[in-house]
Structure 1
């Protein structure tokens, strides 16, 4: 524009029509210089001169940081805005579908398995002892062992679930009798010194055979009399365990003994060491049980949630409530973090980075100012000619 202005001034006397491009050039140069000054004044002092109200970003960095933090808090970190955006998205279904893919679940299981040894090794032995002393042992002291055992037996006996255990016990007793006939004969002979050895062997063999036949008969007969007697004995024991004061005192006494033994021997540390060693050994194997179980559980959870809309609604409601709580509780901390981080930046570096980031648009501001100034100059020149005539 300045070059055009000089050309017009040099030849305007010979070419009067150059007054029009001269008006364009004069106003365009003024607009260009004014916009250059305005843009430069935002980021630094023009020509390094400390002119008032220049280097605006550098001079007002603290205020801009605080304003930016408040702006983010009031316009982005509002519970209504965040919950409104999240409520239209079925996060539970998306996560469940992602977990249903075995490859994804294996990746998560791998991360969990890899971090497990470090987690276990990071547990302080003293913390384990304090945990047992403050949390586990007080609970065990108040545990009614007798009633608990009675409840367990009740669960086992309901629906005749204890019958297979009886069958296994009878089979084990039969195997023991068969394998220890000679021992029984020796004991019988020692107790009966005045009978011949052949008679002792005959009696013992018949006795063992009779017992084995009875055991097999009990196993083969679901409604055998001995089974009924066994059931009655179990029910009687359950009743005693759940109601008897003597059994309750005995259970508490045994629990106190076990707790004292556990504390004196620090067996919980031994258990922790065994867990650490077992986990490490399992993870070193190519076919890790922990990895396989974790992956299978994650896949199962994913498929279950994906097929149950009711569970998805509950999880989404929980997720939205959690998001609301986090936003309400930490929105001010987040805005304060933005403010503090921006305040800690070097003012000159911040100004330079912002200018470099929007530099292309700043160039267009200068170019546009130049052309706008030129158009205004031509318009004003035309207006003065009209008024003058």
Structure 2
């Protein structure tokens, strides 16, 4: 059985001392009334005094004693059986604990968690206006940025790396592995050709060929030397090598300088044919799929989710915790901007208010009964004896004033009644 939550041991001890002190005072006042009553009876019966004032005092003391006893019984009966006697309708808190919990939950549900009442209070509070006026202050926007950064960093740190890596694996790598790569690449390349986006590539290939040719003189001479007959004179080899090199440089320069050169056209035809083959040639598509499987099975790509998450999470946390980062700065700027728009645009405020009240009504309609039910379930799990003791500890001090009032008011009532009877009927 659950134990009800209570104040700290120090506060509990202070409450117990205060309760004992108030109980003692209320009991002492009841004892005083009893002593006065018994003294008056002794004076009347034993000493034979019959002064008028004795009757007034006796009546007041007697009524005060009766009132104090009645209220002592009433207060005690709430939490335990008076004097250990199991009188009906006593120890009410202990016996009716569960019913009290249900009644409390119903009362709170009907009077505090009512959807109409809650939405009305939320609407009266004017959240959009207050939010707008708060956000437009730069220091408050900085607070929003700081809290957003702190929350973002905590969320990222709280995420299990294995879950994040699995998400990356499923969302990126596994999804990329599902379709054939050839046809999409071919269609993309075909669209690039249609848009003229491949011309920079053709231009770069032409320029690259010329740059390589300019620096290839030694290579050309070496290749010529290897292929010339061994009996050929050296000057012939040099002449041939030089001639081939100059022709190569002249040809690549022409390709680089002439947009409609046949070599460029050949490159364009190759790219166009490649785009077509990627879509329709089964052999090439199969080869691309083999390359895809080799790539996906490679160690770097297998380790990519962990590497990507480590780098991404580190970057996010660093940006979230750095007050001068682009992320934090943008959040602060957006807060000020949005606050200004909200302050100046009545339609935006009305829209936000409608959303807030709608969300509040939804929560109240759907979750208020569950919240109220928590009260009854919690009370039901309390230990009956401990619950009675703890509740008495929390409210018992105030209940002792009922006993004091019972004694005092009873004495005054007794005195008034006795006085009226004396006036009407005499001694």
Q: Is TM more than 0.5 here?
A: yes
Contact 2:37 2:61 in 1 (8 A): yes
Q: Secondary structure of 2:386's partner?
A: helix
Alignment CA distance shift 1:35-1:139 (3 Å): farther
Which of 249-258 and 264-273 deviates more?
A: 249-258
Q: Which residue of 2 aligns with 1:328?
A: 365
Kept after mapping to 2: 8 A contact 1:31/1:370: yes
Aligned match of 1:306 in 319, 328, 339? 339
Aligned to 1:109: 149
- CA deviation vs aligned residue, 1:356-387 (integer Å, no higher than 9, x gap): 21223212211111222112111211221123
Judge which range, 302-311 or 17-26, deviates more. Answer: 302-311
Distance 1:72 1:14 in 2: 59
Larger Rg: 2
Aligned to 1:68: 104
- 1:5-154 alignment to 2 at 5 Å? 5-11=37-43, 13=49, 15-88=51-124, 89-90=126-127, 94=131, 97=135, 101-123=141-163, 136=175, 145=184, 149=188
Aligned residue for 2:215, secondary structure, equals helix
What is the deviation of 1:115?
Answer: 3.7
Distance 1:122 1:338 in 2: 39
Deviation at 1:257, TM superposition (A): 6.2
User: What is residue 356 of structure 1 aligned with on the other side?
Assistant: 393
- Closer, same or farther in 2 for the Cα pair 1:353/1:56, shift >3 Å? same
Mapped partners of 1:33, 1:317: distance in 2:
58
User: What displacement does 1:38 show?
Assistant: 0.4
The match for 2:8 is none
Which segments of 5 or more consecutive residues in structure 1 lack a partner in the other structure? 219-224
Deviation at 1:45, TM superposition (A): 0.8
Change (3 A) 1:114 1:65: closer
How far apart are 1:119 and its partner, in Å?
1.1
Cα shift at 1:260:
5.2
Q: CA deviation at 1:182?
A: 1.9
- Give the TM-score normalised by the residue count of structure 1: 0.71
CA contact (8 A) 2:150 2:320 kept: no
User: What is the root-mean-square deviation of aligned Cα atoms in Å?
Assistant: 4.8
The structure-2 alpha-carbon separation of the partners of 1:21 and 1:70, relative to structure 1 and needing over 3 Å to count, comes to same
Q: Which moved more, 1:312-321 or 1:27-36?
A: 312-321
State the 1:308 CA deviation. 2.6
Residues 309-333 of structure 1 deviation map (CA, whole Å, 9 limit, x = unaligned): 3555544433433333333222232
How far off its partner does 1:11 sit? 4.9
- Distance of 1:294 and 1:4 partners within structure 2: 81
Alignment check: 8 A CA contact 1:26 1:377 kept: yes
Alignment: residue pair count: 359
Deviations 1:242-263, CA, capped at 9 Å, x for gaps: xx9x875579958966775676
Which residue pairs with 2:408 in the alignment? Answer: 371
